[in-house]
């Protein structure tokens, strides 16, 4: 079953974020605390939203999808950026990932969003194959740019 996350899910969502980070070989970068996630998802001005897939066998959560609205200056409309999609290893192949994406696609259309976008690591062949099977378009001409740490501080100091 797919449902909107609740505050009671924050502990398990955080655990799955760390599981995802370990799979992506970057667990040391997953520093978000439960308090930060609770504020981001359920505070007075949410920064993001989450759906969860319930696990019928364990009674816990099988996976989650965390997203936030984006905006396109070209279309003049909002879109949806999927930050995380994760299904626990024991539940993979059970349709949870597809169900989470289908629920997000339906939410996207109900909300009048024209784009549903996400990133995938270039080495993550299982995910790439899954996304291709859904008809996802891969935008190879675009590169992700990021400033953090010292370069971010240096640029800000130039203002």
Which active-site residues does the annotation give?
131
Closest by CA position to 40, among listed 20, 68, 18, 60: 68
Closest by CA position to 81, among listed 39, 111, 37, 123: 111
Q: At what angle do helices 10-23 and 34-42 cross, to 10 degrees?
A: 110
Rounded CA-CA distance 117/55 in Å is 26
Query: φ and ψ at 78, to 5 degrees?
Result: -75, 160
Rounded CA-CA distance 63/2 in Å is 9
DSSP secondary-structure letter at 136? P
């Amino acid at each position: 079953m797919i449902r909107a996350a609740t505050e009671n899910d924050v502990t398990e969502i955080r655990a799955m974020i760390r599981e995802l980070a370990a799979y992506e070989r970057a667990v040391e970068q997953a520093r978000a605390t439960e308090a930060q996630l609770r504020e981001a998802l359920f505070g007075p001005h949410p920064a993001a939203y989450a759906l969860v897939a319930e696990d019928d066998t364990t009674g816990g959560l099988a996976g989650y999808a965390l997203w936030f609205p984006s905006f396109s200056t070209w279309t003049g409309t909002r879109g949806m950026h999927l930050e995380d999609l994760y299904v626990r290893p024991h539940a993979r192949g059970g349709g949870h990932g597809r169900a989470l994406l289908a629920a997000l696609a339906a939410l996207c259309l109900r909300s009048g969003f024209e784009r549903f976008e996400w990133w995938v690591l270039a080495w993550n062949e299982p995910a790439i194959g899954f996304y291709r099977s859904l008809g996802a378009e891969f935008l190879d001409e675009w590169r992700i740019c990021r400033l953090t740490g010292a370069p971010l501080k240096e640029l800000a100091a130039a203002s």
